[in-house]
Structure 1
Amino acid sequence: MENKPTLLVLAAGMGSRYGGNKQIDGFGPNGETILEYSIYDAIRAGFGKIVLIVREEILQLTKDLLLPKLEGKIEVDFVLQSITSFVPEEFINPERVKPYGTAHAVLCAKDAISEPFAVINADDFYGREAFAVISEFLQNDVRSDLHAMVGYAIQNVLSEHGTVSRGVCSMNAANQLIGMVERTSIAREGNKILAKGDSEEIEIKEGTPVSMNFWGFHQDVFSDIDRMWHEFLPANVENLKAEFFIPTVANNLIEAEEAAFEILEGGKTWFGVTYTEDKPVVIESLQKMHASGEYPENLWK
């Protein structure tokens, strides 16, 4: 298969709510990480390369974990994200400790990717169907002015152990994204799904598509992200908590009519580990998938 897309994995997050490096925690029956299932699904969906964005503290750990298993199966590259990556000297704030967010992480990979690519989180399980639909899009439909995201219904992506943050999507009749609002405190209360803000409470209807940070991009998006990054920095140099997110990039491109985003209906199965208490649920779900034959007894043998 020519022009195989690349999978860009965001694995540099701190895991603060979870309480550890969940990107390299074992969940499968043989200690597999969630990331390994994504890589396995990406390989069988036709991806040709994996690029992992990591922070320096976990680079060697991640290499030791993945490279022996993936040797001969797919090309793997590593890119570092730090709070000074792609930050001109005049905008470096020595007091900043928080990473700059997901769009900054993608920007860090611009020299490692020259083909259409998907973006995922390392600690989310997205399901085989999601990789199949995004791979097909990246090989057949993507253009410099047409990108995509995999949509997931809000009721399928909540946690029983606390609130979650989700990009809540609005779409038109053509299943294209109109805009996305990041809601940072979503939980089910009784028969309602509520997003609570500082001064408002919003009900989100079941079936509403949300972003779980599974995107498909044409490689030309790097120049768009770079342009927005250099607008973001001077506006936020004093804001130590400001982050540069992928949904911000998507919203800006849509509002400027520079690109459209298809919402792909591949989000059938999702689970993740926002909180430590989520871990037993993930372990049980993966065991069932192995037992049903969705995954082999051992992913890499």
Structure 2
Amino acid sequence: MIQKPTLLVLAAGMGSRYGGDKQIDGFGPNGETILEYSIYDAINAGFGKVVFIVRKEILEEAKEMFIPKMADKIELDFVVQTLQSHVPENLLQADRKKPFGTAHAVLCAKDAIKEPFAVINADDFYGKEAFQEIAKFLMSEVKPDRHAMVGYAVQDVLSENGTVSRGVCETNEKGQLIGMVERTSIAREDGKILSRGEGEVFEIPENTPVSMNFWGFHQDVFSDIEKMWSEFLPANMENLKSEFYIPTVANNLIQSGEAAFDILKGGKIWFGVTYSDDKPVVIKALKELHEQGEYPSKLW
């Protein structure tokens, strides 16, 4: 019997540039959150469980929002990410305010996931094709040394309302990920896509695959993440803004030869909310998808 994969949702982010909790803000015609579309697509693709990573401040609100709508359609679990999660007492940073980042969030779900799983951001719309591709990978191809990432062309993941940061991928002849560089201050200028971060101007070709934080993992990756986390903490004791990212985990596994990452082709459509001015764009896009019959008039 094929094991149904789990969807791990990263919903503990601060939403600082957006100005609110965009993870639980309504965008669909009936007030649906962006996340509800991801879960709807995941259910249709064959996922069997959803695990939410949340801050304790929004835990009850998240439960009230999602359990009544979908508890009869898919198994739900909620895990709280705190600054103390998986941090030994002697390595606690008393003055730290910033969350430890996406790989730490994944580690927080270690006890809730025992099967292959996908990781997404709560505030990104990924499209049903992306869920179909990653579900197929997780149910038939994933291995302890073979994971995946859904790739999106950089031209499709820009914002009209400001610059964005993206994980720009380097690939081998098999189309696998061999490295990723986080490029910041990316925007289209005079027909070119330029990154102006890090004190340099760097042009990115339009079809270059980038990561939108949609990953597929074998469950054995938790032991790899745990090992890297135990090295990250003491090395960053003095840096209260340091973050432990999923791409860091991927790069380490690739460079050590411990695992390969396929780049899946499911990234056809994406939109997200980085700035508050992005909200009307997302509302319009979702309305059009409903009108085109991609989604029913009501999701639930």
**TM-score, scaled relative to structure 1:** 0.99
Paired residue type of 1:113 = I
CA distance in 2 between partners of 1:246 and 1:124 (Å): 16
- 1:75 is matched with 75
- 2:273 is matched with 273
Deviations 1:143-197 (A, max 9, x none): 0000000000000000011111110000011110010001121111111111112
SS at match of 2:58: helix
CA distance in 1 between partners of 2:63 and 2:84 (Å): 22
1:286 aligns with 2:293: no
- 2:133 is matched with 133
CA distance in 2 between partners of 1:198 and 1:247 (Å): 18
> Within 5 A, what are the aligned runs for 1:176-187?
176-187=176-187
> Within 5 A, what are the aligned runs for 1:1-301?
2-300=2-300
- After the TM superposition, list the runs of 4 or more consecutive aligned residues in structure 1 that deviate by more than 3 angstroms: none
Shifted more, 181-190 versus 254-263: the winner is: 181-190
Paired residue type of 2:111 = D
Paired residue type of 2:293 = G
Paired residue type of 1:123 = D
CA distance in 1 between partners of 2:274 and 2:91 (Å): 31
C-alpha root-mean-square deviation of aligned residues, in Å?
Answer: 0.7
SS at match of 2:110: coil
SS at match of 1:216: strand
Contact 2:195 2:204 in 1 (8 A): yes
SS at match of 1:68: helix
Deviations 1:4-28 (A, max 9, x none): 0000000000000000000000000
- The alpha-carbon deviation at position 104 of structure 1 amounts to 0.2
SS at match of 1:193: strand
SS at match of 2:299: coil
Paired residue type of 1:36 = E
Gaps of 5+ in 2: none
SS at match of 1:267: coil
SS at match of 1:42: helix
- The alpha-carbon deviation at position 2 of structure 1 amounts to 3.3
- The alpha-carbon deviation at position 233 of structure 1 amounts to 0.4
CA distance in 2 between partners of 1:259 and 1:87 (Å): 26
CA distance in 2 between partners of 1:170 and 1:71 (Å): 40
Paired residue type of 2:156 = N
- The alpha-carbon deviation at position 286 of structure 1 amounts to 0.4
CA distance in 2 between partners of 1:285 and 1:231 (Å): 43
Contact 2:107 2:222 in 1 (8 A): yes
**TM-score, scaled relative to structure 2:** 0.99
Gaps of 5+ in 1: none
- The alpha-carbon deviation at position 198 of structure 1 amounts to 3.3
Shifted more, 191-200 versus 127-136: the winner is: 191-200
CA distance in 2 between partners of 1:168 and 1:222 (Å): 24
Contact 2:184 2:198 in 1 (8 A): no
Equivalent pairs: percent with the same residue?
A: 72
CA distance in 2 between partners of 1:21 and 1:246 (Å): 22
Deviations 1:199-236 (A, max 9, x none): 21111011000000000000000000000000000000
CA distance in 1 between partners of 2:235 and 2:99 (Å): 16
Deviations 1:48-107 (A, max 9, x none): 000000000000000000000002100000000011110111111111000000000000
SS at match of 1:178: strand
CA distance in 2 between partners of 1:108 and 1:164 (Å): 27
CA distance in 2 between partners of 1:190 and 1:121 (Å): 30
